[in-house]
Structure 1
Amino acid sequence: METSWLLLAGALLLSVLVLRRHAKNRRLPPGPPAVPLFGNLLWLRNSAADVEPLLLKLFKRYGPVVTLRVGSRLAIFVSDRRLAHAALVGAGAVTISNRPKAATTALLGVGENIITNADYGPVWRLLRRNLVAETLHPSRVRLFAPARAWVRGVLLDKLRAGGAGDAAPADSMDAFRYTMFCLLVLMCFGERLDEPAVRAIEDAERAWLLYISRELSVFLFLPSVTTRLFRCRLQTARALRQRQTDLFVPLINARREYKRRAKEGQVPASETTFHHSYVDTLLDVTLPEEGHRALTDGEIVSLCSEFLTAGTDTTSTGLQWIMAELVKNPAVQERLHAEIKATCGDDADEVKEEVVHGMPYLRAVILEGLRKHPPGHFLLPHEAAEDMDVGGYLIPKGATVNFMVAEMGRDEQEWERPMEFAPERFLEGGDGAGVDMTGTKGIRMMPFGVGRRICAGLSIAMLHLEYFVANMVREFEWKEAPDHEVEFEEKREFTVVMKKPLRPRLVPRRT
């Protein structure tokens, strides 16, 4: 009899557990059919590395929250701005502030202690506070004004050589990307490097980023099998990482020596060496949670790579889309040029960064470019630290959660004529007037993210976009070149760039 009661109790307990599990499964956001271990069957026909077109179809079928299974990982995508605000800014903000372990960390053992990958905790707070206070604070940003003026000259020279006069129009993105690398390399390592050195760093960074974003997604499926089948991919990734290390460590050691000599008052004056750099701050960081140890060279390499990537690819992509829209919309370009001319006059050598904040139409042009063409169409993925509710759906602990940046900025329910480039919408009386870029009050567009993991470089990115756009429009009239018409088809690299590169005809405005 006692055995029968135990069996009955066990059966009831098992039934309760099964029912609870089924209840949770019923509350998960909807999605396509999946099989254990492999995930959704649609991966047989679609690539996990290029998921956006697939998601746009799934949102139409299932609604604004969709569940995908990538291997054994549960991934949830949110396209609704109100649900995104509730998750990222509302009651669930802390719960969803972690990051899923990156493939580079899990497979290659690199990049765990960087700001974008670290979980929301002491290490993340320490590294982010160091970046914001010691490099991105307005007082620090002002120290690099001479660097921005130098890079402005480099950029205009590159554009003159590639697209002015009767010369065949060149790919403007190359000039944007190279000059942003010049600036960020200087800010990172405190040294103005020559073009071959900057190009080497640029090539190494792009090769690494493109490879890990395109070729490592296969390891999301049955990693115990795929790590054996695709060993060559891991070997290639390690070689690309070693290339970064070989380039960065000598520059890091040079700053160690610079700091040592500075303490002894032995640093000679140099036009190419700056007194402050991001690496300087990293050399002073210690990790209290790990016995106050200093950062390793490998960790500093990862943080430098993160700094360069965050400040170059996104900004150069933003410049490409904005200038393409100005080529296609000459009336907008002329209104912007009129504002620049009225602000700076005809005699100034440049549009100084001190005055760009006083140009409302310039800012409207930048905001409209970021709304219509955000460099990243997704936020970096978040991970739920515990079970949470979003829009009545269960987001289980450990699930990866992502948010559709481009969809929110192009939502026709929130924006009038969303696919039209209309900077006037951000002026007084427009449907974007007073938009909150931080998303604190509500999300209408979030090219820099929102909430606790918002991009730390929002302010400096806006400064760079305003400063360089203003100076390029003041120097040249940007026109469509014969046989190189502007097309807005997108291509996903690390950011979302123009599939057909921008090749304008540049007409000098000043003689």
Structure 2
Amino acid sequence: MELWLLILVSVPLGVFLKALVNIVFLSQTHKPPPAPFTFPVIGNILWLRKSTFELERAIRSLNQKLGPIVTLHIGSRPTIFIADRSLAHLALIQNGAFFGNRPPCSSHEQSDWQQSDQHLLLRSKLARPPTGDPVRVVDHLQNAMFCLLVFMCFGDRVEDKKIKEIEQVERRMVVNHSRFNILNFWPSLSKIVLRKRWAQFLQLRKDQEEVILPLIRARREVKEQRLRNLNVEGNEYVLSYVDTLLDLQLPDEKRKLNELEILNLCNEFLNGGTDTTTTALQWIMTNLVKYPQIQEKLLLEIKEVVGEGEEVVKEDDLGKMPYLKAIVLEGLRRHPPARLVLPHAVTKDTVVGEFVVPKNGTVNFMVADMGWDSKVWDDPMAFKPERRICPGHGLAILHLEYFVANLILSFEWRAVDGDDIDLSEKQELTIVMKNPLCAHISRRDAGSFKSTGS
């Protein structure tokens, strides 16, 4: 009896003492990440006057003064920026369960994309001007990638005119992304102070609905028709991203997504996939023009894998090309399309290094700074695919490998005479080239491989 009484008393007492020690210990030895001077009430809201590009530079200067983890107080949540790979590992790997959420904001693909990919790539090739004229590459890359993602999103061949309408309205949203981003902070106040900007945003949102909602409704009708006609041959049916959204059941609310929620996810799919992949592809091709010896080495690897007489690199070939994979990954390290990954939200106070990241804080990881860390990478600002060969995963990597391999196999890429390749950057939704790549592009003849191999 006395033993049970002792257990009943000691267990709650032990839990209480442990909690008390944790509170005292954390308060004495761990502090929130350091922050610059913060104005009462408004916090660091004035930092939003800076563009994303300027903000990154400002945070980089804060890192030099305050260390690799800093806090900005913008809106109702503290925003933490982490620029150190070890702290990122502590947060995402060792404490991944607490960093797994996303802050409030507006997130399947399967394969039959390959046949469409070849068709779209061919269209992009045929769209170039006569031989001898420099080609402004980004327009063709962007169009090819957007056409591919529209096909993956809606599962049907969408006519060119409709694709152009979608591309234009999505592009307008991308270009105005930084202007509209401030509307997320204190919306009730911004609706008064920034009335014109809100009106522009709502009009653009209406334009998106008019262009994309008919495609979602048409896809819903196709699905319902297939369910009514189960005996119809389905060999030509391609599962699309919208199909998965129409089937998605929200477990907590016990309902399916409504049209506007599906529209939001389609916008993310099209904008995220097009802009980031096209930007990365242009940076990679720019470096292959700037360093023709790397282009030549890649061509030799491609030819060894696909063999003589083959005009297209297939998806199955990509896994046999380690140098191609190294080029893509080195391009993403040296020129990441986004300096920050999607933000994470913290579900409880969590110790990261010497600091406590507060519950409900928004955490951003500065992947560009990690990729340029001279403590990890020798000569980090140089483009050196030979520095590592490691596997890459994901749809974006697959698309980049596929496009790069086929563009190098089919064409020789050369700098415009007298033109030094400019690697200057400019901020849009992603970090794009300030002066888009222009290059001389000529079709490789059948004997080009024999001459390069001798």
TM-score, length of structure 1 as denominator length: 0.77
Provide the rounded CA distance (Å) in 1 between the counterparts of 2:48 and 2:244.
47
| Equivalent residue in structure 2 for 1:176, among 128, 141, 148 | 141
The offset of 1:165, in angstroms, is 1.7
Provide the rounded CA distance (Å) in 2 between the counterparts of 1:49 and 1:324.
21
Aligned residues, how many?
424
1:107-506, aligned counterparts within 5 Å?
A: 111=106, 115=107, 131=108, 135=109, 140-141=110-111, 143-158=112-127, 160-161=128-129, 165-167=131-133, 169-217=134-182, 220=185, 223-265=187-229, 274-291=237-254, 293-427=255-389, 434=390, 458-482=393-417, 484-506=419-441
Equivalent residues of 2:52, 2:178 under 8 A apart: no
Amino acid in the other structure paired with 2:417: P
Equivalent residues of 1:182, 1:192 under 8 A apart: no
Provide the rounded CA distance (Å) in 2 between the counterparts of 1:425 and 1:44.
38
Secondary structure of residue in 1 paired with 2:141: helix
Secondary structure of residue in 2 paired with 1:263: helix
Provide the rounded CA distance (Å) in 1 between the counterparts of 2:353 and 2:167.
42
Amino acid in the other structure paired with 1:97: G
Provide the rounded CA distance (Å) in 1 between the counterparts of 2:125 and 2:28.
58
In structure 2, relative to structure 1, the CA distance for the partners of 1:28 and 1:198 (3 Å cut) is same
The offset of 1:209, in angstroms, is 2.9
Provide the rounded CA distance (Å) in 1 between the counterparts of 2:207 and 2:273.
20
Equivalent residues of 2:170, 2:271 under 8 A apart: yes
In structure 2, relative to structure 1, the CA distance for the partners of 1:151 and 1:269 (3 Å cut) is farther
Provide the rounded CA distance (Å) in 2 between the counterparts of 1:282 and 1:73.
30
Equivalent residues of 2:100, 2:346 under 8 A apart: yes
Provide the rounded CA distance (Å) in 1 between the counterparts of 2:132 and 2:144.
23
| CA deviation vs aligned residue, 1:207-243 (integer Å, no higher than 9, x gap) | 12332333332653x6543320101211211111111
Equivalent residues of 1:49, 1:217 under 8 A apart: no
Equivalent residues of 2:314, 2:402 under 8 A apart: yes
Structure 2 unaligned residues grouped into runs of 5+: 1-22, 447-454
Equivalent residues of 1:477, 1:506 under 8 A apart: yes
Secondary structure of residue in 1 paired with 2:80: strand
The offset of 1:404, in angstroms, is 0.5
Structure 1 unaligned residues grouped into runs of 5+: 1-18, 103-110, 116-130, 428-433, 438-457
Provide the rounded CA distance (Å) in 1 between the counterparts of 2:348 and 2:432.
35
Provide the rounded CA distance (Å) in 1 between the counterparts of 2:230 and 2:344.
47
| Equivalent residue in structure 1 for 2:98, among 95, 98, 107 | 95
| CA deviation vs aligned residue, 1:234-267 (integer Å, no higher than 9, x gap) | 1211111111111111111211222222234499
Secondary structure of residue in 2 paired with 1:411: coil
TM-score, length of structure 2 as denominator length: 0.86
Provide the rounded CA distance (Å) in 2 between the counterparts of 1:323 and 1:263.
45
Q: Does 1:58 align with 2:87?
A: no
In structure 2, relative to structure 1, the CA distance for the partners of 1:24 and 1:282 (3 Å cut) is farther
Amino acid in the other structure paired with 1:286: Q
Equivalent residues of 1:49, 1:213 under 8 A apart: no
Root-mean-square deviation (CA), in Å?
2.7
Secondary structure of residue in 1 paired with 2:192: helix
The offset of 1:166, in angstroms, is 2.2
Provide the rounded CA distance (Å) in 2 between the counterparts of 1:238 and 1:483.
46
In structure 2, relative to structure 1, the CA distance for the partners of 1:24 and 1:76 (3 Å cut) is farther
Secondary structure of residue in 2 paired with 1:239: helix
Amino acid in the other structure paired with 1:185: V
| CA deviation vs aligned residue, 1:188-215 (integer Å, no higher than 9, x gap) | 1111123221121111112123323333
In structure 2, relative to structure 1, the CA distance for the partners of 1:219 and 1:465 (3 Å cut) is closer
